[in-house]
Amino acid sequence: MTKLWGGRFTKATNQLVEEYTASINFDRKLARYDIIGSMAHVDMLASCGILTHQEAAIIIEGLNKVDYKIECGKVELDVGHEDIHMNVEQLLSKEIGPLSGKLHTGRSRNDQVALDMRLYLREVVVDMVEQLVQLQQALLTQAKTNLDTILPGYTHLQRAQPVSFAHHMMAYVFMFQRDVERLQDSFKRINQMPLGAGALAGTTFPIDRQQVADKLQFDGLCENSLDAVSDRDFVIEFLANTSMVSMHLSRLSEELVQWSSTEFNFIELDDAFCTGSSMMPQKKNPDVPELVRGKTGRVYGNLIGMLTTLKSLPLAYNKDMQEDKEGMFDTAETLKGALALFAPMIETMHVNKEAMYKAVAEDYSNATDLADYLVGKNVPFREAHAVVGQVVLHCINKGCYLLDLSLEEFHQFSDAIEEDIYEALTPESVVAARNVPGGPAKNRVQEQFLSAEQSITASLSWVQSLQSAVKLDG
Ligand code: ARG
């Protein structure tokens, strides 16, 4: 097989080298982006008088055919042609003959691959923001229907202080909001146009980079040709931002797994999102959150892999950089799958309000409130803390809870305690009393709803404003 770069060579490539160095088995995913990029490039070459308009029209028509044939699997992509860029050019030559040789004028695969990666990733990022917003909406809906659902909040996985389930759900809404914002911020750096950098030092042709950038709806041009072909920061940023998303999903997953155990029994995931055991007929396993939790390892691995590949790499392009793709694709697809399941799984999850309330009632998570009550009676907090510690110990020994004690028993520990303590220590009062901005009191959680809704609206209009730009429709 003749190579596109075969002129300088006297021998055929070793078969194993060919297979080892090829990227076509994974970069075929970039076909559409590669072709759209080529079309914009050729269009520009014609407007700059580097190709005739007629030549450009023939090349573009040929590229359309190649695109169609790749899309419907009518052509073989060949390891002998190494990567998607050279495969497309070869296929183009089959369509239009030697004129295809003019496509690569003023361009290198180095700036070409950087372009393809950016085109791919900006679409992924916009879609991922949309999926994250859908998850936020599902969490928000659960929050709204559970404004009055009280459960223990935990620290050290020990019951700590009561909160509402709404408050707990909202914690995740804000967590995912930060993910949305990180992805949106990264978009600015992804959406810079590298073409025109050539192999590393630009080109001698009087090209118009801005025209290509405008055509492909980039925000600006990569400003240094060496940097344009060496930079994979945008890939690393994506892998880092998605690692954070995965970490967040794994935390939520872990809670779903715990909550759906018989021991907690706080939630039940819908049958449609669970699986059974091949041996134990009674089992209903939370496989989806478990697997999402498990896949976090791969997503982190892809980040560390890419950071390590780029470490100490001299400028400009090095073949090492071909390793940028598989991890990026894998992470993008892993997250896409997880997010697609998470929103409906959260939406359809049954919340066992009674079990949550029982957990909060049969427990000492109102102890801080007894201490705060004493502080209200002018007992210094440290002293109140010690007194309540003794009250709790007394209850543990007796096998009861704070609200089970008589006023006489309370008085053995402090005279400051009065009849109103019984109202003050109910789960409802304890939550309502935490009426600070960001707190779990109902009106404070409603403030969170409002703020989250504003963020969600803003994210959705961001997605909408970009979706048509980043979707390549040939
Ligand atoms: N397949 C290569 C990659 O994915 C494309 C760029 C190759 N450039 C080169 N000079 N070998 O990175």
The model's confidence at residue 201, banded by pLDDT at 50, 70 and 90, is: very high
Q: What is the pLDDT of residue 2?
A: 79
Alpha-carbon Rg for the chain in angstroms? 30
Q: What is the pLDDT of residue 473?
A: 61
- Answer yes or no: 225 catalytic: no
State yes or no: pLDDT of 122 exceeds 70.
Answer: yes
Q: Which residue puts its alpha carbon closest to atom 11 of ligand 1? A: 319
Beta carbons of 225 and 202 less than 8 angstroms apart: yes
Beta bridge partners of residue 268, listed in sequence order: 350
pLDDT in tens, 48-77: 999 999 999 999 999 999 999 999 999 999
- Answer yes or no: 277 catalytic: yes
- Would the CA dihedral through 295, 297, 299, 301 be positive or negative? negative
Q: What is the pLDDT of residue 5?
A: 87
Burial class (CB in 10 A: 0-12, 13-18, 19+), 361: middle
Beta bridge partners of residue 161, listed in sequence order: 153
What do you get for the CA distance between the two ends of the chain, in Å? 30
Instruction: DSSP letter for 426, please.
Output: S
Q: What distance in Å separates the CA atoms of residue 30 and residue 122, rounded to the nearest whole number?
A: 13
DSSP class per residue in 120-173:
HHHHHHHHHHHHHHHHHHHHHHHHHHTTT-EEEEEETTEEEEEEEHHHHHHHHH
pLDDT in tens, 421-457: 999 999 999 999 999 999 999 999 999 999 999 999 9
Average pLDDT over residues 76-86: 96
Average pLDDT over residues 360-381: 95
State yes or no: pLDDT of 350 exceeds 60.
Answer: yes
Burial 312-345 (b: 16+ CB within 10 A, else e): eeeebbeeebbbbbbbbbbbbebbeebbebbbeb
Beta carbons of 39 and 88 less than 8 angstroms apart: no
Separate counts of helices (H) and strands (E) for the chain = 19, 6
Write a three-state SS string for 184-226.
Answer: HHHHHHHCEECCCCCCCCCCCCCCCHHHHHHHCCCCEECCCHH
Q: Which residue out of 18, 19, 85, 118 has the highest number of ligand 1 atoms within 8 Å of its CB and is therefore the one to mutate? A: 85
Helix (H) or strand (E) holding 114: helix 109-145
* Among 156, 152, 167, residue whose Cα is nearest residue 362: 152
Q: Which residue out of 86, 109, 309, 326 has the highest number of ligand 1 atoms within 8 Å of its CB and is therefore the one to mutate? A: 109
Give residue 303 CA to ligand 1 midpoint distance, Å. 20
Could you tell me what percent of the chain has a pLDDT over 70? 99
Mean pLDDT of the chain: 96
- Enumerate residues lining ligand 1, CB below 6 A: 23, 27, 83, 109-110, 113, 317, 319, 321-322
What are the tokens at 145?
A: 């229907």
Q: Which residue puts its alpha carbon closest to atom 12 of ligand 1? A: 322
Q: Which of 261, 277, 461, 465 is catalytic?
A: 277
Q: Which residue out of 113, 195, 200, 230 has the highest number of ligand 1 atoms within 8 Å of its CB and is therefore the one to mutate? A: 113
Q: What distance in Å separates the CA atoms of residue 307 and residue 298, rounded to the nearest whole number?
A: 14
Burial 182-218 (b: 16+ CB within 10 A, else e): bbbebbeebbbbbbbbbebebbeeebebebbbebbeb
Average pLDDT over residues 157-186: 97
Q: What is the pLDDT of residue 413?
A: 96
The model's confidence at residue 472, banded by pLDDT at 50, 70 and 90, is: confident
- Would the CA dihedral through 60, 110, 305, 243 be positive or negative? negative
Q: Which residue puts its alpha carbon closest to atom 3 of ligand 1? A: 322
State yes or no: pLDDT of 158 exceeds 50.
Answer: yes
Beta carbons of 81 and 13 less than 8 angstroms apart: no
Give residue 87 CA to ligand 1 midpoint distance, Å. 12
Which residue in the block uniquely carries the two structure tokens 């209200």?
Answer: 376
What pTM did the predictor assign? 0.96
The model's confidence at residue 224, banded by pLDDT at 50, 70 and 90, is: very high
Q: What distance in Å separates the CA atoms of residue 190 and residue 182, rounded to the nearest whole number?
A: 12
* Among 290, 245, 279, residue whose Cα is nearest residue 124: 245
3-class DSSP state for residue 379? coil
Q: What is the pLDDT of residue 280?
A: 85
Q: What is the pLDDT of residue 474?
A: 45
